Amino acid sequence: MDASRAFEVWVHLTRQAGWDVVELPADHNADDPTDLGAVMVEGIKYRIHFSPRVRRLLADDSTGHLTYKDALGYVGWAEPDLTAQN
């Protein structure tokens, strides 16, 4: 999943859960490479991020026998933008 798709999926799933989401596509923090943009959810501003953040099991058979190891997978998540409350 790429970053723009992660933003769309996050917005879709949040709306599907019943929340009123307003996208703010012009509000993007270029200094933060994980920042996808911002949304307003029920009057509170959230920043949507995308980076390795969720633990997944990675199957590895490169040595001839199957082993599993932890790896970080990419995921989209939201954090409240506390600077918007000032």
Domain segments of the chain as ranges: 3-85
Residue 1's Cβ-side half-sphere holds a number of Cα atoms within 13 Å equal to: 15
* Residues counted in the chain: 86
Residue 20 confidence class, pLDDT cut points 50, 70, 90: very high
Q: How many CB atoms lie within 10 A of CB 12?
A: 11
Residue 86 has pLDDT above 60, yes or no: no
Compute CA 45 distance to the chain's CA centroid, rounded to the nearest angstrom. 15
pLDDT (average), residues 29-44: 89
The HSE-up count of residue 27 (CA atoms within 13 Å, CB side) is 13
Cα(57)–Cα(80) distance, integer angstroms: 29
The strand ranges marked E within 1-86 are 21-24, 35-41, 44-60, 67-80
CA 38 vs. chain centroid, Å, equals 11
- The whole-model pTM stands at 0.75
pLDDT at 8: 92
Mean pLDDT of the chain: 88
Confidence grade of residue 17 (pLDDT, cut at 50, 70, 90): very high
pLDDT at position 84 is 58
